[in-house]
Amino acid sequence: MNLKHASVLVIDDDTDVLTAVRLLLKTQVKEVVTEKNPENLRAILSRQNFDLIMLDMNFNSSINTGNEGLYWLGKIREFKSDAAVIMITAYGDIDLAVRSLKIGAADFVVKPWHNEVLINVLTEALGKNVKSKSAGTDNKNLVIGNELIGESAIMQEIFYKIEKIAPTDANILILGENGTGKDLIAKAIHQQSLRAAKPYVKVDVGALSENLFESELFGHKKGAFTDAREDRAGRFEAANTGTLFLDEIGNIALHQQAKLLSVLQNRQVTRLGSNQPVAVDIRLICATNVPLAELANENRFRRDLMYRINTVEITVPPLRKRSSDILLLAKHFGKVYSKKYMKAEPEFDARATEKLLNYPFPGNVRELQYTMERAVIMADDSVLQPKDLIFSPIEQAPEMSAPDELRLSSIEKNTILHVIEKNSGNITKAAKELGITRTALYRRLSKYDI
């Protein structure tokens, strides 16, 4: 079906959103109907059929479930509408939007959106193969970028999240243990962004010494310090119009964080030894292996900087949490290194496969990569035996988790449940009592599947 012949219903309690969509679509579709109150859905759908429904994730309505968008998505299906439903979400609710795909949504758009992106989403939602775009379908996306590989459900959600946030300019924070592939995710976001043809600059800020931090990031003028023999642009200027990836952001000192925050707020840098600010236009991606709970401690990390860098967060699971990807990755690295060292592509003896799948990989994907490189080089035969798989002696197995009832996550979940129950399900009141925003509470509700 052509978009020109489609009828579209838009449900959002933000009048500005309704106006913007109506103006955009009035020349693109046959009909646009807008509605502020989702409680009028039954009456509207009883009078008219729609090809597409755009549904906001959050409403200030009498239904306070913590995930109103999912509630009304279910109601649309109860009302026997066969329209393709596109969820409208803010950056902070992307995890919830991904969840909506599993219960029947065709797709979602992140506001504010680029008009051409919205038109493409609507067009694709009218096609027959919309279902293939959601995470966990038969048409799985196994590879994004060079070596970002996975078929597990958790990686499919990450791939889908990358696809949705890459075309925006949202600042991204990537969390995960060492060796999980945070740098590959950052590169994949850049490659799928509107800045893909522009510079991509990576800086390991955690490795910069006290003296090099400002010079490397912000640049310097000749004579600014003893070894400054010429003018030099910093990494912010080098990344201008493109993407700046700051790795190990959790390891910089508080006074360095203050300087970084100033640059991000003002979108300009001043080289050491100069009084002249230079405007910069960058898309910022940060990564750290420091757990989010530790970053939330203001004695370690400034909260105002955390909000600035964390418009959207992506948590990369350790390899032991995505065991269905281990053999897929092992075969990939076997192919890469057999080609590099001009050897036969390796196969796996059943016992070798078992050894791989039973190992916890404390060094994550990086450890598996080096294990396979060593095996390809040293094995006497193309069929790998258990003895050919030698794991790194420098890695330590992950510590056993504390009993569930003692874990901080359980304490947080139980606290949220108690406060919501105390406030009779009213999310606004619950968020206020917890001292967090509604959006932050929605994210936790999604995280704990409440």
Q: What is the CATH number of the domain that holds 428?
A: 1.10.10.60
Using the predicted structure, report yes or no on whether residue 391 has a pLDDT greater than 60: yes
pLDDT at 294: 86
Comparing 45-54, 86-95, 185-194, 345-354, the range with the smallest average pLDDT is 86-95
pLDDT at 409: 65
Going by their DSSP bridges, the two strands 283-288 and 172-175 should be labelled as parallel
Average pLDDT for 157-165: 88
pLDDT at 102: 73
248 within a domain of the structure (yes/no): yes
Average pLDDT for 256-271: 94
Helix (H, G, I), strand (E, B) or coil at 287: strand
C-alpha to C-alpha distances, 22 to 10, 27, 28, 31, 35, nearest whole angstrom: 9, 9, 10, 9, 11
CB atoms within 10 A of CB 142: 14
CB atoms within 10 A of CB 275: 7
Token code pair at residue 421:
């129950």
394 within a domain of the structure (yes/no): no
275 within a domain of the structure (yes/no): yes
Burial class (CB in 10 A: 0-12, 13-18, 19+), 397: exposed
C-alpha to C-alpha distances, 106 to 54, 73, 88, 450, nearest whole angstrom: 10, 11, 12, 23
Closest CA to 86 of 3, 28, 8: 8
**Higher-confidence position of 336 and 405:** 336
Residues of the domain holding 435: 404-447
Highest mean pLDDT pick, 52-56, 223-227, 295-299: 52-56
Token code pair at residue 222:
């000749």
128 shares its domain with 235: no
169 shares its domain with 305: yes
C-alpha to C-alpha distances, 203 to 81, 118, 249, 341, 384, nearest whole angstrom: 50, 33, 10, 31, 38
Helical H segments across 326-363, by residue range: 326-340, 350-358
Going by their DSSP bridges, the two strands 312-315 and 200-204 should be labelled as unpaired
Which CATH number covers residue 369? Answer: 1.10.8.60
Using the predicted structure, report yes or no on whether residue 132 has a pLDDT greater than 50: no
Using the predicted structure, report yes or no on whether residue 430 has a pLDDT greater than 50: yes
The angle subtended at Cα 259 by Cα 292 and Cα 198, nearest 5°, is 80
Helix (H, G, I), strand (E, B) or coil at 279: strand
413 shares its domain with 368: no
Average pLDDT for 422-445: 78
138 within a domain of the structure (yes/no): no
Average pLDDT for 420-443: 78
65 shares its domain with 28: yes
> How far is Cα of residue 279 from the mean position of the Cα atoms in its chain?
27
Predicted TM-score (pTM) above 0.75 = no
Share of the chain above pLDDT 70, in %: 90
Which CATH number covers residue 15? Answer: 3.40.50.2300
pLDDT at 248: 94
CB atoms within 10 A of CB 202: 17
Using the predicted structure, report yes or no on whether residue 399 has a pLDDT greater than 80: no
pLDDT (tens digit per residue) in 375-384: 999 999 999 9
Asked if residue 368 lies in contact with residue 361, where contact means CB atoms within 8 angstroms, the answer is: yes
Burial class (CB in 10 A: 0-12, 13-18, 19+), 139: exposed
396 within a domain of the structure (yes/no): no
Using the predicted structure, report yes or no on whether residue 58 has a pLDDT greater than 70: yes
139 within a domain of the structure (yes/no): no
**Higher-confidence position of 231 and 141:** 231
Going by their DSSP bridges, the two strands 277-279 and 268-270 should be labelled as antiparallel
Average pLDDT for 312-331: 93
140 within a domain of the structure (yes/no): no
262 shares its domain with 167: yes
155 shares its domain with 121: no
435 shares its domain with 383: no
> How far is Cα of residue 14 from the mean position of the Cα atoms in its chain?
26
76 shares its domain with 208: no
Share of the chain above pLDDT 90, in %: 50
* Residues facing 35 on adjacent strands: 11
210 shares its domain with 222: yes
Token code pair at residue 437:
């925003």
Using the predicted structure, report yes or no on whether residue 131 has a pLDDT greater than 80: no
Which CATH number covers residue 283? Answer: 3.40.50.300
pLDDT (tens digit per residue) in 276-297: 999 999 999 999 999 888 888 8
Domain final residue, candidates 315, 341, 371 = 315
Closest CA to 70 of 101, 29, 42: 101
Average pLDDT for 395-413: 57
166 shares its domain with 227: yes
| Confidence class for position 252, pLDDT limits 50, 70, 90 | very high
Helical H segments across 230-381, by residue range: 235-238, 254-266, 292-295, 303-309, 326-340, 350-358, 364-378
Using the predicted structure, report yes or no on whether residue 450 has a pLDDT greater than 80: no
Domain final residue, candidates 283, 315, 347 = 315
Task: List, in order, residues 6 or more apart from 418 with CB less than 8 Å away.
Answer: none
Closest CA to 94 of 69, 130, 124, 64: 69
Using the predicted structure, report yes or no on whether residue 449 has a pLDDT greater than 90: no
Helix, strand, coil fractions of the chain, as percent rounded to 5? 45, 15, 40
Domain final residue, candidates 256, 283, 315 = 315
Report phi then psi at 408, rounded to 5.
-60, -35
Token code pair at residue 181:
């592939």
pLDDT at 143: 59
Asked if residue 301 lies in contact with residue 250, where contact means CB atoms within 8 angstroms, the answer is: yes
Closest CA to 235 of 204, 258, 189, 259: 204
Q: How many Å apart are CA 447 and CA 430, to the nearest integer?
A: 17
142 within a domain of the structure (yes/no): no
199 shares its domain with 211: yes
pLDDT at 147: 65
Average pLDDT for 158-168: 88
384 shares its domain with 432: no
Token code pair at residue 375:
């095996």
Cis check for the bond before 112: say yes or no (omega within 30 of 0).
yes
- Give the total number of structural domains in the chain: 4
CA torsion, ordered 75, 105, 314, 301, to nearest 10 deg: -30
pLDDT at 326: 94
Fill in the amino acid letter for 77.
R
